[in-house]
Amino acid sequence: MSGTKSTLSILKHNFGRPSVMTWGWPLMWLSLMTGVFYGVRCLLNRLVIPFGVTSLVGCSLFLILMTLCALVLPSASLSTGFEDTILGHYTGIGALLLSVISGIPLMMLKVSLYNFTAWTTLRLGERSVFPVIFHAEPETIYGTVLSILSETVIPAFGMSLFFFGLLWGRFKSTDRFRAAVVIISAFVLYSMDFTSVFATAATAVWCFYLRSRVRNVWAPFLCLVSASVSELFLPESLSKIDIFSVQTYADIGTTYFYSSIPAFFMGMVLLLFFIRVLDSFSISLRHEIHDDEYDEYIPAFDKSINLSLILTIAVFITIWVLIIQGAHL
């Protein structure tokens, strides 16, 4: 009997809801829900349903439901209220406008990195690794609006709320580097898109920077929306490589390189400009907002290093191995 109680206490300590929310517990739920939706995605591909899972309607419904269940609901239910400051502080419309504009050079960086990765993957691996969630380009204005809402606005809100709201608030002000590593890694793993790994990592780095300087989740949210919407107005020479229409790296025209390389450096230069401006803005806020204001409510970093973290890593590794093998198709 004592052995059973000991086992239950170990399970509760490692997997049960902590009395003070740690950073590992939300990640465990994120990984489990991501795994569930990955399994559902694989299952739907083998069932007869009214609409295809890669159709615009099917993809939109899947993305919205996944965002709500994996990001929004955990953020709302796991937040402990005032001490979390999950939405951050409102610091003025000027900083938010800068966040919106910064989405344009971020888009240039993302598209360039995506094109480089797509070419390298085909050159070295001889096949593309398709993302878990994708659909054909919309052909009507209503389809475009639905695509923007389901692929851009709603996921951007969920990711900003979870990664740069709830998860951000679970790290002390002295643990910002560790927070960056955890949040950026989780952001990339949640994407379930092998070809976009470096583009997604660059996006996560910039959103983390915006959260630290503008001090609220609306900055990364607006930047994510701006970056995605601005892709719609890209000239054909700077568009993303369509990995669904190429078979070998030789099918990728040299135009992509001639446009992606200067776009990459231009995006970097423009983001460096925004860094200088936002750094100055952040300095002016230091006397009003103190990063260590809620440190006493936040557990130490090592409180989350337990079996729940190992489970999180195991789930994400399993998902990504299956993605690389193409098990979702």
Residue range 176-208, pLDDT digits in tens: 999 999 999 999 999 999 999 999 999 999 999
263 in a structural domain: yes
User: Of 32-36, 156-160, 290-294, where does mean pLDDT reach its minimum?
Assistant: 290-294
Q: Which residues of 128-143 are buried (b: 16+ CB within 10 A; e: fewer)?
A: bbbebbebeeeeeeeb
12 in a structural domain: no
15 in a structural domain: no
Query: What total of structural domains would you count in the chain?
Result: 1
Instruction: Give the pLDDT band (50/70/90) at residue 79.
Output: confident
Domain span at residue 240? 22-325
The whole-angstrom distance between residue 306's C-alpha and the CA centroid of its chain comes to 24
Instruction: Give the pLDDT band (50/70/90) at residue 279.
Output: confident
Instruction: Supply 190's token pair.
Output: 């949640």
Chain-wide mean pLDDT for the chain? 87
Rounded-to-integer distance, Cα 203 and Cα 224, Å: 8
Instruction: Give the pLDDT band (50/70/90) at residue 122.
Output: confident
Q: What is the pLDDT of residue 236?
A: 65
Q: What is the pLDDT of residue 2?
A: 57
Q: What is the pLDDT of residue 177?
A: 93
Whether pLDDT at 10 is above 80: no
Whether pLDDT at 281 is above 80: yes
16 in a structural domain: no
Tokens 């960086």 locate to 109
Whether pLDDT at 82 is above 60: no
276 in a structural domain: yes
Q: What is the pLDDT of residue 306?
A: 85
168 in a structural domain: yes
206-264 per-position pLDDT tens digit: 999 999 999 899 999 999 999 999 988 776 667 888 888 887 777 777 777 778 889 99
Rounded-to-integer distance, Cα 139 and Cα 158, Å: 27
217 in a structural domain: yes
Q: What is the pLDDT of residue 233?
A: 79
147-170 per-position pLDDT tens digit: 899 999 999 999 999 999 999 988
Whether pLDDT at 290 is above 70: no
Q: What is the pLDDT of residue 191?
A: 94
Whether pLDDT at 93 is above 80: yes
245 in a structural domain: yes
Q: In a 10 Å sphere around its CB, with 0-12 CB exposed, 13-18 middle and 19+ buried, how is residue 178 labelled?
A: middle
Whether pLDDT at 83 is above 60: no
